[in-house]
Amino acid sequence: MSAGALVWGIKASLLGYVRGMSDGVVEAAGGAEATEGGFRFPAIGAGAFRGSVTLTGHHGMMRVVVADPAIVETEEGWAVEIADPDDRAVRLRFATIAAFDGRQASGTALTAEGADLFFGPYTAGTALDDPRIGD
């Protein structure tokens, strides 16, 4: 899996919701950049990418960080892992991927661990935007 970057919208409806809040902020950092297709995370190795997207709002009550994503092969298929927001040295399985051809994912859905980051509005199995690997 060679790539220049992971391009991923995370969840377009969530980003729209956060951006629509009076105090909502969507911030890319650490090498990640906002693009028309979502966010571009530069590659740092096979299937691993750097950068973060932080969603904040609700007067400090909401803070979700998606950092250093990776597409990894698992016993069940494919998954998206991110750095655990509480300890970036720990990997958290954020989403499952139903199919992945080395470039384009499809059927991306939150895991229970990923859903826990949202404290309620999303559950395991909630559909996410599908990531793709490109330039």
Average pLDDT over residues 11-27: 95
- Would you say residue 131 lies in a domain? no
- Would you say residue 129 lies in a domain? no
- What was the pLDDT predicted at 131? 97
- Would you say residue 80 lies in a domain? yes
Domain range for 62: 5-122
Q: In whole numbers, what is the pLDDT of the chain averaged over residues? A: 93
Band the pLDDT of 3: cuts 50, 70, 90: low
Structurally, how many domains does the chain consist of? 1
CA distance 53 to 99: 24
User: What three-state secondary structure class fits 10?
Assistant: coil
CA distance 3 to 5: 6
For residue 35, what are the β-bridge partners? 38
Residue 20 CA: distances (Å) to CA of 32, 58, 99, 135: 21, 11, 32, 29
- Would you say residue 23 lies in a domain? yes
pLDDT tens sequence across 38-97? 999 999 988 899 999 999 999 988 999 999 999 999 998 999 999 999 898 899 999 999
Average pLDDT over residues 89-112: 96
Exposed (0-12), middle (13-18) or buried (19+): which is 2, by Cβ within 10 Å? exposed
- What was the pLDDT predicted at 58? 92
- Would you say residue 95 lies in a domain? yes
